[in-house]
Amino acid sequence: MQIVTRVREMQALAESLRTEGKRIGVVPTMGYLHAGHLSLIELARRHSDSVITTLFVNPAQFGPGEDLDRYPRDFPRDQDLATRAGTDILFSPQTTEMYPAGYATYVEVERVSSILEGKFRPTHFRGVATIVTKLLNLTKPHVAVFGQKDAQQAFLIRKLAADLNFNLEILVAPTVREEDGLALSSRNSYLSPQERSRASALYRSLKRAESLIAGGERSAAAVRAQTMDILSRAQPTQIDYVALVRPDSFTEVETLTPPSVLVALAVRFGSTRLIDNMIIPFPESR
């Protein structure tokens, strides 16, 4: 596996691969890789000739008081995992390469950036949209792979790519979970053993929503109430939101209609903020 740290080198290498007729797949990550990331790399491997995994903890998507400084990092481990998962090129630039002195240009996707995650993290999606735009310009991929766990991010990136006419395919891979259903996340490492045990309530609450909808419940308020009840019994520090939205527009709904609804939630255990979601199809749409 080749390691690239400079912007110009990455651009030149991507251009060379395209000239050779290679199909490029890119997997943007912030590192501290886990099985969820590896599934993205493996998916990119199946859809491309050359896989670029990016590893960059993006300061622009962290707000004041968030966990930028303590975000877990382990480059040698990431290098080994990325190689074994099928990465050909690991692009790991320094912050000064991506945001040099005098940097002043940002990308923003309106509306979806200000709801749910955007309400609690007002500058987060501006940072996401900016870094994704830069990484796509640098790696010149034919396909880019993201995870369903970050459903709002995935929706925003699809919108970004469509609105700015990026000539590439966006793939969204299923969420990878632990045995008790907790979605894999680099931030799970922050949880104490007691918090980790209680955090399994996120998946249980989503499965309860799925069961209610399968049974014919069509009131978003009723589904939300029972989801909140399961989460509350786990004694979280805070429930930021439980929302039911249309997967194709990310607009909240009060009456549930086919073909599907996305249930999204954000919950804090101690100082750790976890997100999860599930797209639930209606029985008549299966």
Q: What residues are annotated to the active site?
A: 37
Dist. CA 142–CA 166, nearest whole Å: 10
Cβ atoms within 10 Å, residue 105? 8
Tell me the CA distances in angstroms from 152 to 31, 60, 114, one per residue in order: 20, 17, 11
Helices (H), the chain: 7-19, 35-46, 75-85, 95-98, 117-120, 124-139, 151-163, 193-199, 201-214, 220-233
Q: What does the alpha-carbon distance between residue 192 and residue 265 come to, in Å, rounded to a whole number?
A: 21
Nearest to 128 by CA among 261, 136, 216, 8: 136
Residues 6+ apart with CB under 8 A from 99: 59, 60
Neighbours of 226 (CB within 10 A): 16
Angstrom distances, CA of residue 44 to CA of 50, 81, 206:
9, 15, 28
Separation CA 122–CA 116 (nearest Å)? 10
From residue 57, give the alpha-carbon distance in Å to each of 61, 124, 158, 249: 9, 13, 21, 28
Cα distances (Å, whole numbers) of residue 215 to 94, 190, 191, 218: 51, 36, 34, 9
| Tokens standing for residue 208 | 């309860």
Give the residues across from 107 on adjacent strands.
none
